[in-house]
Amino acid sequence: MIEVSDRKGSYIIMPMHRIMWLESLRHHTVIHLEDHEITVSENFSVIEKKLDDIFLRIHRSYIVSVPIYRKDKISFRDHG
């Protein structure tokens, strides 16, 4: 389980196995789940320290769940 703070200051607790990938967007972190996204106010590197070993930082702005990445279920889109 991971606990993160949303943009309203409420805490969200979710199982880590539901997280597909995480994305750093300026001062927020977007947590991508299979069926939706959650934008949280916590810093990307703070969240990274809370994650299990199944997560891998592949870029300064992306952390992926290795089991899901290996199944080729992740599609990154350009936010430029």
| DSSP structure string for 46-79 | HHHHHS-TTEEEEETTEEEEHHHHHTT-------
Would 75 be classed as within a structural domain?
Answer: no
How many domains does the chain contain in total? 1
* pLDDT value, residue 44: 94
* pLDDT value, residue 77: 56
Would 10 be classed as within a structural domain?
Answer: yes
Q: Tens place of pLDDT for every residue, the chain, 80 residues? A: 999 988 888 999 999 999 999 999 988 999 999 899 999 999 999 999 999 999 999 999 999 999 877 776 655 554 44
Would 27 be classed as within a structural domain?
Answer: yes
- Show the domain range for 30: 2-50
CB 32 within 8 A of CB 40: no
Would 13 be classed as within a structural domain?
Answer: yes
* pLDDT value, residue 27: 86
Diameter over CA atoms, the chain: 34
* pLDDT value, residue 34: 87
